[in-house]
Amino acid sequence: MGFISLAFLIAVIGALLWSLRIAARLWPLIGAALMLGATGYALQGQPSLAGSIADARAARSAPVDPSLIAIRQQMFGRFQYADTYFAVADALTRSGKDRSAALAMLGGVRSAPNSLPLWTWLGVALNQQEGGAVSPAANLAFRKARSLNPEHPGPWFFHGIALVRAGEFDTARAYWLRALALSPATSAYRAAIAERIAMLDQFIAMRNRMQAEMGGAPEM
């Protein structure tokens, strides 16, 4: 339904612009802007999630993307010590309690200070708590995870996810390329990483093209 709504919105905007007799020379720029927004939604959105009525009394954070949970399980395994903390943090995040989720993961790394999965997900939880910003604490968590095993793709991939949410697309791409290089050829998650890199490349290309066209467009 998310993609259907997005397509409908683009169609409505297109009809409105046509009715306003926007100059033909500006249509490529407008189209690039619409496609940039659509690609950004596909890259960061969660169209598989059920809709819910907005509650003006309390802001609710978006739940963790189920596809990211699947990749986490593939990268870090299941039925391990970290799973208990993952389950608690996921439940808290779904309830909109991002700070509590981050505190749960902090308790996890305190109980197992050499756990790469726990440090990685602490970074994710802190990024969620900050509304997508990559705080110094989140950076520290991801760096700690990498220091435990620089050859594991997990910290690189999830740090890239946090950077995308923060709008740092070029740096995120470098992290995802590193994660892809470290992923075994037979791993179940390798294709998912490659797909995200391809989508991010399209997003960056459209962003750069739109910026170039805006820079060269005559003043109205």
pTM: 0.72
For the chain, what are the domain ranges? 2-54+203-216, 66-202
Q: Is 86's pLDDT higher than 90?
A: yes
Q: How many CB atoms lie within 10 A of CB 57?
A: 5
- Of residues 52 and 7, more confidence is placed in 7
d(CA 122, CA 102): 6
Please tell me which of 1-5, 28-32, 113-117 the model is most confident about, judged by mean pLDDT: 113-117
d(CA 180, CA 200): 14
**pLDDT grade for 34, boundaries at 50, 70 and 90:** low
Please answer whether residues 203 and 90 qualify as being in contact, where contact means their C-beta atoms are separated by less than 8 angstroms: no
Span 27-54, average pLDDT? 53
**What percent of the chain has a predicted confidence (pLDDT) above 70?**
69
CATH topology classification for 66-202: 1.25.40
Lowest mean pLDDT among 8-22, 67-81, 115-129: 8-22
Nearest to 33 by CA among 203, 156, 159: 203
d(CA 76, CA 207): 34
131: left (phi over 0), alpha (psi -120 to 50) or beta: left
